[in-house]
Chains A and B, each alone.
Chain A
Amino acid sequence: MARPAMSKLSSTMKRQALRTILFALPKVMNLKASRLPAFSESLRQRDIVAWIGLQDESIGRLLEIRDGRFRARTGKASEAELTMTFRDVATALKMLSPNRDQGDIIHAAKNFNVVTTGPDDLVIWFAQTLNMNDTAGLPMGTLMRDGSRRFTTCTNGGPLFVYVKDGKILRVTPIEYDKNDPESWVIEARGRKFSPPRRGLVAPHALAMKSMVYSDKRILHPMKRVDFDPDGERNPQNRGKSGYVQITWDEALDIVSKEINRQKRVHGPGSITFPMSSHHMWGNVGYYLSSLMRFANLIGFTRVAANPDSWEGWYWGAMHHYGNSMRIGVPAGYGGVEDALKEAEMIVFWSCDPESTNGAYAGFEGTPRRLWAKELGIEFVHIDPHNNPTAQLLGGRWLPVRPQTDAALAQAIMYVWVTEGLYDKDYVASRTTGFDDWKAYLLGETDGIAKTPEWQEAETGVPARDVRALARKWGGRKVYLAVGMTGAGFGGAGRGATGTQWARCMVQMMAMQGWGKPGVNFGALQIGAPNDLHFYFPGYADGGISGELLWTGNAVNNYQRMPHILTMNPVKQMVPRQQLPDAILTGQATGYLWDGISQEAQFAPFTYPMPGYSPIHMIYRYGGSSMSTVTRSGRWIDAYRHESIEFVVNQSIWMEGEAQFADIILPACTQLERWDIGEWCNSGGYAHHGTSLVNHRVITMQHKCIEPLGESRSDYDIFTAILSRLGLGAVFTEGCSELDWVKRVFDSSDLPDHVSWKAFCRKGYHMVAPAKESLRAPVDMRWFAEGRNKDLPEPHPLPSQFAEKFGTGLQTPSGKFEFLPELFRRHTSDNPERQPLNHYIPSWEGMRNTELASRYPMQLIATHSRYSFHTHADGKNSAINQIEDHRALIAGHRFWLLRLNPADAAARGIGHRDLVKVYNDRGAVICATDITPLVAPGVLKSYEASAEYQMVEVAGETVEIGGCLNLLTSDRPQVRGTSSMAPNSCLVEIEKWANADVFRQARAA
């Protein structure tokens, strides 16, 4: 080891050592170059003269790169184009040692003990080239018999092998584990042993990667809107209408960097905003919370504060009953797979369709576990307006509930439990507070209405007898309640007007049934596999290379494990995401924070604009998903065309969504065209230990499989190029290429204890051995049910947030489960929509809304799409787009699908695969029908997040044909005093599209 040996040297000897290193440096480098063609090739790109030495110039040499070779000579720093100077010998030796410590480097840089001067692009090139030492010439991937090379990657839907030949992707296949990988876990339940398949059960959108890379919708060149002149008329009113002209990268980068500076100069901090979207591509370096966050911080921006769109009802509602703010109010799911298989007698799926939502990133990893449950005779019940794919696969009793009335159904079940004594009285007495008040409400003592099964029938459409039967069956058995995408939280029912009521009811029900006791918990066998959760590898939300400590999970582990220079956004102004268009159009917006640190942060409003900052005048948009993912999204069109928005740049891979509203379009490449590293299903952050959703923890090298198509570039490269024009490139890159950052992420994790960097690069993945059986994670809430101290491996509640002693009780003020949350009593008792007592309040856009319902009698629910991942993999002429149950090909156009009951179709003269207009006062979208008894009458079931946004005029009628159903949804928050969204509360009418024939004829012509 170089460092300890060096530290024993005398001061004179250290100086001599530095001289020797500087003398030997060119020889060592030339030797490397002779062995590594890639390194040698890179050296030939530029000739430079650098001076390396001490800041007092008492030791130093000129290092020259000319014609691909290093030379050194004596000389002065002033003779060099760039200098790298050290404050003292000790720093120099640390920095130049072969086994240098990243912490030392960062410390030296942050404290100006090492200073680099010179033109930014030259400094970056010099540093990146020297770094190639570590990476150049490493064999990447595995050579196959047919001459192709097998690379690896990880996607939103799982890890893949990527086979490449002659610079072209041949195919992608699900990852398959080999005999050298660790043995899989085994669960013993009811006399049987279960072990998962030795391959990745990946999602459809993962397998569609190649089709997305080679999509004809790729943006391959930088482009400028034809009527946008940065130095003259900008014509904001024509955004989304005018066409584009191809420009060079230099032109594009000049325009963007000049405009950034102009914004700063003319308007000051806050005028630039970077609306960020998740899930575009996988990987810890390229993820938006990583590179983009670092880029944005170095410029300064008005933060678009996201609402907890995945959680909603859990965050604004359920959390206050039991805490878990770290998980935004959803249960943790620890140990759920083994416990359910061993103990549960029934699983009630409530707004839970893991066969469609895949636990977000887990593909079909949970599917075999649910099939095991079926083999074991565990019964299933499905509560959903749609007999969804999970219900279709597993079977079991379906209770088709009217959308947004779930809370009424839940309360009627609890009513039966109370009146028939079918709840855990000891648990309620010892572990909860406020039950008497809740019971009084259920019995009608509070408001005169007993919440009987008969009462709920008028709301939900579910026969009272079925509710009574379910309540009795449930009350007498050990039941897993499966909610949302993980089975332990989330869910479409939580994203409507009554979302908080529903989520609150879900936890209240579990508290009545002894939440945490064997076989009594949340889960769908989707979360809680017995993986080794203690092996450290950061998730995508853990900060990556961002340097951002407050708005990512960076500070928890990543910042210490991967020393890097922290970055900060100096702008305190924020705008709530759902109100961003209004903020632009009206100049004002109020929001409430999504915060994972406490239960209380959400009660304080923040307002836009904030004194001291500029309103927004420039939008730097990354991707183009807003049109189909933000409620009442037609607002975006007006916002983009608003005169206050002086500049819009869009950095996208595909020409889709709102990319067409930009002034300048920067073409980004896909993850298969750049380096990255990532672990399957490891989001980190609020989904701490989320890797328990998959059957094997798999960390992948995300190889750069092919060169970027056309002139497209990696996001990181684009950010570097822009920042270099602002003199910030070296700060942004820390002298690292993407591959260098990948190596730094590798080094920061537990991987080096198990696999060498070289072997990892070649094989492409590492499987983490499962936890020894005796070390498996305990079951979530078991400690609470048994009155013990908390024993789960999660860092929250914070030490300060326990009611009595550290580790004792829940995060609530009482430390118990609160049927009437104290925090609502304290903070929102004046808000009729956020009362301590979880009243049933009919949806503000539902069937009780009689005036609106008389005009728009159908309830539209648009949940997460099954084949695409939000807008990812939809459109683009991808393989997903060709799936018959994803879009329907009619008149040469692939229309978004709308599922409806035969009775509703017949009443309107609508046939299967007809084109229909679905509309309300907010807009009109054309879809194709799927007529099916799998949807409850009165309901239109579709999906959110069409990638395509295509407004067309047909016979004088303006309609959208891409499938952006969020044009029709309300932008009202679920409940007042929150920044929540309620897209699943949407009343519409549907009719056969009168202009379908005109459209067909126009297409045929």
Chain B
Amino acid sequence: MTKWNLIVKVGRCENCNNCVIASRDEHVGNDFPGYAAPAEAVGDSLIRIQRRVQGSAPMVETTYLPVMCNHCDNAPCMARAGDAIRKRDDGIIIIDPVKAKGRKDIVKSCPYGAIVWNEEQQLPQTWIFDAHLLDQGARVPRCQQSCPTEVFEAVKLDDAAMQKKVVAEGLRPLRPELNTRPRVWYAGMDRWTTCFIGGSVSHEADGLIDCTKGAEVRLIRDGSILSTTLTDDFGDFQFKGLIGDGSAYRVEASHAMGTAVQTCELTDSVYLGELRLT
């Protein structure tokens, strides 16, 4: 039995919102009996894009994360809704546009905040994976069709094959600790969850300050060197993939022009600024 899964490639989203608009276009003014009642022209979007900005000028990194109904296999909304929500054999979750009438309580049942309340229709609504289009032979949902950077990849696989893909490609669902078993998977989630420590190394020569290229920079925690890197043409360095757990870090830069040291406690990504070699 093959089922639908959606893979979201995190670093490729540029927040163009084509997926958001395509989903609104699909549902505003359109009634798809058995799938979804018309969405509100001015209501919340079924697909949303979250933003994370790390660092500060000039070293910043921005990541966008499209989020929508996860079509969980262990869906909290279904536990709440009784027969107002059903799961199809292909994994897609449908909030029944008739049975769910007036059920505002369902909105809060989703730990991901993926259910939107439609005031006009008095209905909880979600992104339905464009099930109505897939059922008519569409190959991909509209978010994938409208995305310029190929963020989305809808795949229909049996669960075992999907699990293999999850392992091979390092895919992760949102908040796995909830054990909701989402069918929406994220590739490259490190960019969303981890932190960096960066800085710019410089030195003085002939009365002028210059960027130091090729300085060796060491990242040290608890007295041991975690990583070493070299600065680029702008004297910039960056250590990625760190956990923002408040740990104390020490950064040491060395070069023929001198050495420099900085320390920080890492809760979120940090640009240390200029490290002047002396």
Chain A residues within 8 Å of B, Cβ to Cβ: 145-146, 168, 170-174, 176, 197, 199, 201-202, 204, 207-208, 210-211, 214, 216, 355, 363-364, 367-368, 371, 387, 389, 392-393, 395, 397-400, 454, 463-466, 468-470, 472-473, 867, 877, 879-886, 901, 932-934, 936-937
- Chain A residues contacting B14 (CB-CB under 8 Å) are 355, 367, 389, 392-393
Query: Contacts A387-B62, A933-B56, A934-B53 hold; do A883 and B29 have CB atoms under 8 A apart?
Result: no
- Chain A residues contacting B53 (CB-CB under 8 Å) are 932-934
- Chain A residues contacting B98 (CB-CB under 8 Å) are none
B30 to A882, Cβ gap below 8 A? no
- Chain A residues contacting B146 (CB-CB under 8 Å) are 173-174, 202, 207
- Chain A residues contacting B55 (CB-CB under 8 Å) are 933
Max chain A Cβ within 10 angstroms of own Cβ: one of B14, B26, B55, B137: B14
B17 to A933, Cβ gap below 8 A? no
B17 to A883, Cβ gap below 8 A? yes
B18 is contacted by which of A207, A211, A368 (Cβ under 8 Å)? A207
Q: Would you mind naming 22 contact pairs between A and B with Cβ atoms under 8 Å apart?
A: A171-B25, A174-B146, A201-B148, A202-B18, A207-B25, A210-B28, A211-B21, A216-B41, A355-B16, A364-B149, A367-B149, A392-B14, A392-B15, A397-B236, A400-B57, A465-B211, A469-B235, A867-B17, A879-B25, A932-B53, A934-B60, A934-B62
Scoring B residues 30 to 44 as 1 if CB is less than 8 Å from chain A, else 0, what string do you get? Answer: 100000000001110
B273 smallest CB distance to A (angstroms)? 10
B145 is contacted by which of A168, A199, A367, A465 (Cβ under 8 Å)? A199
Query: Contacts A210-B29, A397-B58 hold; do A364 and B148 have CB atoms under 8 A apart?
Result: yes
B235 to A465, Cβ gap below 8 A? yes
B24 to A879, Cβ gap below 8 A? yes
Cα of A367 to Cα of B14 in the assembled complex, Å? 10
A145 to B137, Cβ gap below 8 A? yes
Main secondary structure of the interface of B (DSSP, over half): mixed
- Chain B residues contacting A885 (CB-CB under 8 Å) are 15, 17, 49, 51
Cα of A877 to Cα of B21 in the assembled complex, Å? 13
- Chain A residues contacting B60 (CB-CB under 8 Å) are 387, 398, 933-934
Main secondary structure of the interface of A (DSSP, over half): mixed
- Chain B residues contacting A398 (CB-CB under 8 Å) are 57-60
A455 smallest CB distance to B (angstroms)? 12
- Chain B residues contacting A470 (CB-CB under 8 Å) are 234
8 nearest A-B residue pairs (beta carbon): A364-B148, A392-B62, A201-B148, A469-B211, A393-B14, A398-B58, A933-B56, A207-B21
A-B contact count (CB 8 A): 141
Tell me if B224 is interfacial: C-beta within 8 Å of chain A: no
A366 smallest CB distance to B (angstroms)? 10
- Chain A residues contacting B56 (CB-CB under 8 Å) are 933
Query: Contacts A367-B149, A398-B58 hold; do A884 and B48 have CB atoms under 8 A apart?
Result: yes
A728 smallest CB distance to B (angstroms)? 40
Please name the residue on chain A nearest to B62 by beta carbon.
A392
- Chain B residues contacting A197 (CB-CB under 8 Å) are 150
- Chain B residues contacting A395 (CB-CB under 8 Å) are 61
A204 to B57, Cβ gap below 8 A? no
- Chain A residues contacting B118 (CB-CB under 8 Å) are none
Q: Which one of B100-108, B174-182, B202-210, B252-260 is at the interface?
A: B202-210
- Chain B residues contacting A168 (CB-CB under 8 Å) are 29
Cα of A772 to Cα of B131 in the assembled complex, Å? 42
B233 to A204, Cβ gap below 8 A? no
B145 to A883, Cβ gap below 8 A? no
Scoring B residues 205 to 227 as 1 if CB is less than 8 Å from chain A, else 0, what string do you get? Answer: 00011110100000000000000
- Chain A residues contacting B110 (CB-CB under 8 Å) are none
A879 to B28, Cβ gap below 8 A? yes
Tell me if B22 is interfacial: C-beta within 8 Å of chain A: yes
- Chain A residues contacting B51 (CB-CB under 8 Å) are 885
A211 to B61, Cβ gap below 8 A? no
A371 is contacted by which of B26, B149, B235 (Cβ under 8 Å)? B149
- Chain B residues contacting A933 (CB-CB under 8 Å) are 53, 55-57, 60
A880 smallest CB distance to B (angstroms)? 7
- Chain A residues contacting B211 (CB-CB under 8 Å) are 465-466, 468-469
- Chain B residues contacting A392 (CB-CB under 8 Å) are 14-15, 62
B16 to A204, Cβ gap below 8 A? yes
Interface hits, B222-278 → A, CB 8 Å? 233-236, 274
A211 is contacted by which of B24, B48, B209 (Cβ under 8 Å)? B24
Tell me if B142 is interfacial: C-beta within 8 Å of chain A: yes
- Chain A residues contacting B28 (CB-CB under 8 Å) are 210-211, 214, 879
Cα of A465 to Cα of B205 in the assembled complex, Å? 11
Cα of A549 to Cα of B14 in the assembled complex, Å? 43
B17 smallest CB distance to A (angstroms)? 5
B209 is contacted by which of A465, A867, A884 (Cβ under 8 Å)? A465
A210 to B25, Cβ gap below 8 A? yes
Please name the residue on chain A nearest to B45 by beta carbon.
A882
B17 to A473, Cβ gap below 8 A? no
